[in-house]
Amino acid sequence: MPEPLNSLSQHAVGMHAWPLQDRGRWLALTIGQADKEPPRELLAAVGLAAALDLSAVSRS
């Protein structure tokens, strides 16, 4: 999995991604935590669309 999604996925079970077609980028959001104890954090990543095949990603 390309960065920054690889790092983001290490802290969360699920993630939602959306293409930002007007800019050739994507946005991914998840809620996760680095440790087993709180706090939970809202985590976001943005990357180039060419680095990610969004046809395989679930869109919400």
The reply to whether 22 falls in a domain is: yes
- Containing structural domain, residue 33: 5-48
Rounded-to-integer distance, Cα 50 and Cα 18, Å: 13
* pLDDT for res 1: 67
Mean pLDDT of 23-41: 84
Closest CA to 51 of 27, 30, 28, 25: 25
Domains contained in the chain, number: 1
More confident of the two residues 39 and 56? 39
The reply to whether 56 falls in a domain is: no
More confident of the two residues 60 and 11? 11
The reply to whether 38 falls in a domain is: yes
The reply to whether 54 falls in a domain is: no
* pLDDT for res 5: 72
Residue 20 pLDDT more than 60?
yes
Residue 29 CB neighbour total at 10 angstroms: 15
